[in-house]
Chain A
């Protein structure tokens, strides 16, 4: 019982402090620019581009796709900074020196970003409703809420893996940016997956977001929760696989860095 309480404390403290630490540089204005205005601009650009290419009747396709894809802002950039930031802040040595449960410590880094990321998607949907004619009249809103949370969790799973990469490479910014932009294609946010070549469709099927975006589109078109539950289960499963891969990489980095004395080598 005492171990469980201790692990929960580590989880919560890691969660809260790593998130607060981000605001060491992330000022409120930067947050407003990055998380509220930035997503609107992304949605406007791809919606206009999409409607130019395929007609204004398809605007909703792009609004929904990009609104859900905003989960990757917190999922990839936020989580990566929370995990990788330990190295840049010089705190990785102390972190690996503690006897704390590594799983709690590791997954705790993503928790606040799930909440923040889900909030970001809700804000993006609000932009869609206010400015881009998004119609939610036939939507099962609780099911859409569940979709947003599951998709954010799965994207944070990928973020945990990317965060661990930032412990072994100095080029994580390049990798993060590339993954974020590739998701704009591979997740189906802006292109119907059916028109992509087979290898791209196969890649899409093992990425987070793909099924989350498909679920959101189905729900907004009037589907019931029963129809999208299998998609959500797969989405969650994919996120957990990425998260676990990240966790094993995290463990490997710890062991390897301790053996070779390269914990803070950049």
Chain B
């Protein structure tokens, strides 16, 4: 891949991300999923954990923020291709001289970045309404964890969006995909509470490693080795997701061009 191509792709990613952001902030469904719902979950958790330790509030802020990221991933990134089908723009996008995954990457970037608003909303709630003094014990490590989480979520989103558009039976389970990941990834409580047989399921979920890294660095409870290991797992899963996504996009484009069934609802 030449530098010229990298520049061209990057420019496309940025333009798509900007357009997607403008679109998403006017969508009340998106605003509910990435801001209202996480803030309500944070309110509930803060009331529940009222008598717990001070760092429980930071745990809630990060956990409910992650819940917003996941909701955004399932409903917005998951639908990033399906939405084009609904709007009748899918064939045009598939036909432009730009890899389709680059366009979807830009859409997912916008969604994941916007979903971070969930963490800001939960932070303001805990600080202003519940009166907690919140700070991260390892700000640099937290910031790096956040960057890797964003990359991990975008990569994961790239695998689910072609799945949703090609296998509509998978999309029928979309509404039930939120809570299982909230539970298995340990967003708001440790996975140690769960039965032992669920632990391997947690390990294969990229959001679990994101939660480990972000919780560990925000509360300062995790040793550096644990954080480094979580980063490594996030990078590993991101690479695996990108490889799978690349394969899925090829299959999807094949279906679009050969079977011409892409726009069939």
* A33:B28 contact, CB within 8 angstroms: no
On chain B, the residues within 8 Å of A37 by CB distance are: 173, 176
- B2 at the binding interface (Cβ < 8 Å): no
On chain B, the residues within 8 Å of A41 by CB distance are: 176, 178-180, 183
- Residue-wise, chain B 172-192 has the 8 Å CB interface mask toward A (1 for contact) of 110110111011000011100
CB distance from B230 to the nearest CB of A (A): 20
Of the candidate stretches A42-50, A99-107, A149-157, A258-266, the one touching chain B is A42-50
On chain A, the residues within 8 Å of B175 by CB distance are: 30, 33-34, 38
Nearest B residue to A30 by beta-carbon distance?
A: B172
CB distance from B177 to the nearest CB of A (A): 9
CB distance from B145 to the nearest CB of A (A): 22
- B44 at the binding interface (Cβ < 8 Å): yes
* A185:B44 contact, CB within 8 angstroms: yes
Which listed residue, B29, B50, B183, touches A173 by the CB 8 Å rule? B29
* B28:A173 contact, CB within 8 angstroms: yes
Chain B, interface residues (CB within 8 Å), range: 20 to 34
On chain B, the residues within 8 Å of A45 by CB distance are: 179, 182-183
- Knowing A42-B179, A181-B40, A182-B40, the reply to whether A48 touches B32 (Cβ < 8 A) is no
Residues of chain B from 40 to 83 with CB closer than 8 A to chain A in the complex: 40-41, 43-45, 47-50, 52
Which listed residue, B48, B176, B193, touches A54 by the CB 8 Å rule? B48
CB distance from B123 to the nearest CB of A (A): 19
Nearest B residue to A184 by beta-carbon distance?
A: B44
* A178:B44 contact, CB within 8 angstroms: no
Of the candidate stretches A85-93, A188-196, A246-254, the one touching chain B is A188-196
Bound: A45/B173 CA distance, A: 17
A-B pairs with beta carbons under 8 Å apart, 9 shown: A41-B183, A45-B183, A46-B44, A48-B189, A52-B193, A178-B32, A181-B41, A182-B40, A195-B47
Query: When A and B form their complex, which 3 residue pairs have the shortest distance between CB atoms, in order from nearest?
Result: A41-B179, A52-B189, A53-B48
Residues of A within 8 A of B (CB): 27, 29-30, 33-34, 37-38, 41-42, 44-46, 48-54, 171, 173-174, 177-178, 181-182, 184-185, 190-191, 195-196
Residues of B within 8 A of A (CB): 28-29, 31-32, 36-37, 40-41, 43-45, 47-50, 52, 169, 172-173, 175-176, 178-180, 182-183, 188-190, 193-194
